[in-house]
Chains A and B, each alone.
Chain A
Amino acid sequence: MTTAFKESIKTALENDNLASTLGRFSEAYKVARTKAYEGIDFEALRNTIAEVKSFAASHQEELAEEFARNAEARGAKVFRANSPEAVKDYILNLCKEKAVRTIVKSKSMATEEIHLNASLQEHGIEVTETDLGEWILQLAGQRPSHMVMPAIHMRKEEVADIFSKEIEERLSSDIPRLVKVARAELREKFLAADMGITGANIAVAETGSIVLVTNEGNARLVTTLPKIHVAVVGLEKLVAKSEEIVPILTALPRSATNQLMTSYVSTITGAVPNLDGSPKELHIILMDNRRTEMAEDPKFKQALQCIRCASCLNVCPVFRLVGGHVFGKVYTGGIGTILTAWFDALKQSDEIQSLCIQCGNCSEVCPAKIDIPGLILELRRRLAVEQGQPMVQKAIFAVVNNRRAFHSLLRAASLAQLPFAREGFIRHLPLFLSDLTNSRSLPAVAERPFRDTIKEIKQPKCKEKAAFYAGCLVDFVYPEMGAAVVKILNKAGIEVIFPEKQTCCGAPARYSGAYEVAGQNARDNVDALLEEEVQYVVSACPTCTVALKEEFIHTFESLGQSEPIERARILAAKTFDFSSLVNKLVHDGRLKFKTDQHPGQVTYHDSCHLKRTLHAEKEPRELLTNAGYEITEMFEHDMCCGMGGSYTIKMPEISAPILKRKLNNIKATGAPMVAVDCPGCVMQIRGGLDKDRSPITVEHTAQRILEMLE
């Protein structure tokens, strides 16, 4: 990571205005989005969009040809441009040919992508952005920080300064007045312009239509007043049929601006009359810029499903801290990282991809059902392949994968605390050792790992057996969580074994793009966990559970290894996270809670992987409620705590404010206890509360319910 990048993060984090604006927005967004989607089956809707857009991505070339044929039949000129240069040359030539001096533009990410304005201005053409936010940025000489609200990072006082300079009159920061100024100034530009340039939100192949969605009404003026209209349309905007705009227009306003419908939706098919009755000169540029290549990539094809609603930015715990000038290039946030890697260059995404904490909030709200975190991991993998794995990382994984050596090392580091941890590669270990005591206290590494202490638990001999998968934290730091799981399963008549050869789940390696390492982890674990016949494999760590249940298979697939997949599937089928398994045992009548217990008020934190990958949000709550706890939900209970595995070490400056929010939300409930299903979250939250000298206790759900069971 370059110093410049770290510096940009620091600057953004120190910008109080940015943090409070984006913070308030993300909180309001979630509520307003839910309201906008009332009465709509979001899953069904996004399945339809994914289907429509995936079909279009698979048939990009045919649809482009069909679109061009139909648009031309209706009087448009269609130009296919492979590169940004081809787009710019076409428009420049057109300007020259038609003696175009002034251009008005409505908001278009495609033209931002190719830096069209700069090239037009170099040729002496006056080009004016007419979307209010874009115009502010154009006057300020800045780039958009958000795909839908480009100037969200600016304060009204800054806007007043910029406008004052433009109209040479001192303006106050009264927003309606500023908007009136923009209306008056831009109205003149609209009326005088020789050419209008737009993008398109959708392009319909069967009719040759383009669909433009705006709230301000600028696209209507851009496409009506000048005699020439140029639309720059990325190939991913194509859909096959006109009815396919319905699901997109149902989701886009709701996800982008929480509206049922944007103020203006214009569908333009061919050349319509100009003011003087002549037909409009309509040029539609279908821009490729690596979209064809993307459509052919089995992993990244799905990124073409994006409808540019920016909801992935709005729900991102990192974006709301640093904003789009740090998190992205032209396209910002999660999807922006992916688009940057393609439309710009893979290397350009190297730093921004590291901002992703892998919480999965974005994939939960994406109306095009894009697995954004998954694609960011794939970027990491490809970057690692391209750039090679750093020596220090190789050394780390060699240690991590040798469990006993890893434990000794952690234990030594823990006892020595900071001096040792600061030195050499220990600081980079994909766990909790670093100079991070600013925001939370570090846990003490257990004297003996759980793999040893489990042998001392007196277990009944049972017919049914479960294999316990510990993962680093339960094995080395929180063996008491493992003990609670064992005792609970024993009560249900299940004996727990600890397959000795189990190793790291591979998450740290995978999250670093080191798939070869993750693949070896997967093989070792599949072998270890299938060695003895058991009914269940259970883990008290959701990240590990996800690895066992899903990621081993994905890792083998990514590596092109088909042979171990079948056994990985057998393992996946019998793997459970703690709460899901135990809640099932309660439902089956195999576990009973003692009656008339009142352990008190608790607040529950949803771990990212448990909620969004394993979809277990009801299970732990049912367990706690049945155990007699009274759950008080915290605000943003399913928002990441900032741990994110090694993220907390790579990005401590971002992890800390995420944790701070979480702690504030916990404290606001007034509950004296927190229950969590993930040992990583326990470490993060407990460490934070301890640092604050808060009396609130944090325990794994297993520990919270153990004593409540008969």
Chain B
Amino acid sequence: MQTYLKLFQEKAQAASAEVHCCTSKHEALIAILQFLRDENIADCPGSYAVWADDEFRRDLDCEALAAEIPGLHFKVTKELAAQAKVGISQFDWAIADTGTLVVDSSAVDQRLVSSLPPIHVALIQRSKLLPNLATTIGKIGSAHVGYLSMITGPSRTADIERVLTIGVHGPSRLVIFFFDDAEGGAQ
């Protein structure tokens, strides 16, 4: 697993993603909140943060968090997402040898938070790392996912004079937080 994480990190960074590793879910939450503060999230258009419904946030006290970080919204609408600076969502799998994140994004909020805001914060359990695309597709197989998203780095283009430019229609930053499964994983 450790070698997959290292490989993922290398490949994702090569694709201009930022990768952070947290030893526990709690540590990840603290890191995310700090990240939101650093990005000056506020309750005004252009400065919102929107968090899609996912496992990570389900046992959190969302109301308290929203009170702690004004502008952090847990009910995602198109209007909020379009005016958000940061979108947050959890992923189902990660592919080590390409640095790719994979998620069932049939729920529309998953897609809004990962495509409209300029910064996308992606959460992923370390145990969800898979070696490659073949094992990932094998795992998903006939799971009948309505909208499967595979994301590798931020949005990019090279359409003008082949000059690589980050952040066209999607986010210009993809910030990935890995966290360990068990609470308080590493002491």
Contacts and interface: CB of A to CB of B under 8 A. Distances in A.
B115 A221 contact: yes
Contacts of B46: none
A207 interface: yes
Contacts of A600: none
Interface stretch (A131-139, A552-560, A647-655): A131-139
A72 to B, nearest CB: 14
B107 interface: yes
A135 to B, nearest CB: 9
Contacts of A187: 82, 169
In this complex, the interface size class of chain B, counting residues with CB under 8 Å from chain A, is: 35 or more
A411 to B, nearest CB: 50
A668 to B, nearest CB: 24
B151 interface: yes
Contact of B100 (A132, A261, A272): A261
A220 B149 contact: yes
A175 B115 contact: no
Interface string B85-116: 00000000001011110000011100110111
Interface in B114-163: 114-116, 133-134, 137-138, 141-142, 144-163
B57 interface: no
Contacts of B133: 246, 249-250, 261
Contacts of A216: 155-157, 168-170
Contacts of B106: 272-273
Given A178-B160, A217-B155, A218-B169, A267 B115 contact: no
Contacts of B145: 267, 269
Give chain B's interface secondary structure class: loop
A242 B137 CA distance: 8
Contacts of A156: 160-161, 163
Nearest to A176: B165
A133 B157 CA distance: 9
A221 B82 CA distance: 11
A395 interface: no
Interface stretch (A146-154, A514-522, A608-616): A146-154
Given A242-B141, A270-B146, A133 B159 contact: yes
Contact of A261 (B98, B108, B141, B171): B98
B115 to A, nearest CB: 5
A264 B149 contact: yes
Contacts of B146: 74, 268-272
A225 to B, nearest CB: 7
A167 interface: no
B167 interface: yes
Contact of A217 (B95, B137, B170): B170
B155 A21 contact: no
A311 to B, nearest CB: 15
Nearest to B163: A175
Contacts, number: 168
A684 interface: no
B11 interface: yes
Given A243-B137, A266-B150, A269-B145, A260 B169 contact: no
B169 A217 contact: yes
Contacts of B162: 21, 25, 28, 149, 152
A260 B99 CA distance: 9
A156 to B, nearest CB: 5
A130 interface: yes
B107 A130 contact: no
Contacts of A260: 11, 14-15, 97-99, 152
Contacts of B26: none
A441 interface: no
Of the candidates A150, A186, A262, A263, the one having the most CB atoms from chain B within 10 angstroms of its own CB is A263
Contact of B134 (A159, A220, A243, A269): A243
B117 to A, nearest CB: 11
Given A215-B157, A263-B154, A270-B146, A220 B115 contact: yes
A182 B137 contact: no
A274 B160 contact: no
A405 interface: no
A207 B146 CA distance: 10
A159 B160 contact: yes
B159 A186 contact: no
Interface string A272-283: 111100000000
Contact of A191 (B82, B100, B142, B156): B82
A28 to B, nearest CB: 8
B6 interface: no
B168 to A, nearest CB: 4
A415 interface: no
A179 interface: yes
A224 interface: yes
B37 interface: no
A245 B168 CA distance: 26
Given A246-B133, A261-B98, A269-B144, A132 B159 contact: yes
Given A133-B159, A136-B160, A217 B141 contact: no
7 contacts: A179-B165, A215-B157, A215-B168, A221-B169, A246-B133, A263-B170, A266-B149
Given A266-B147, A268-B146, A269-B148, 17 more contacts: A133-B159, A149-B159, A151-B160, A175-B161, A175-B163, A179-B157, A215-B158, A215-B168, A216-B155, A217-B155, A220-B115, A225-B78, A243-B137, A261-B98, A263-B170, A264-B152, A267-B150
A-B residue pairs, 5 tightest by C-beta: A217-B170, A133-B159, A217-B155, A265-B150, A267-B148
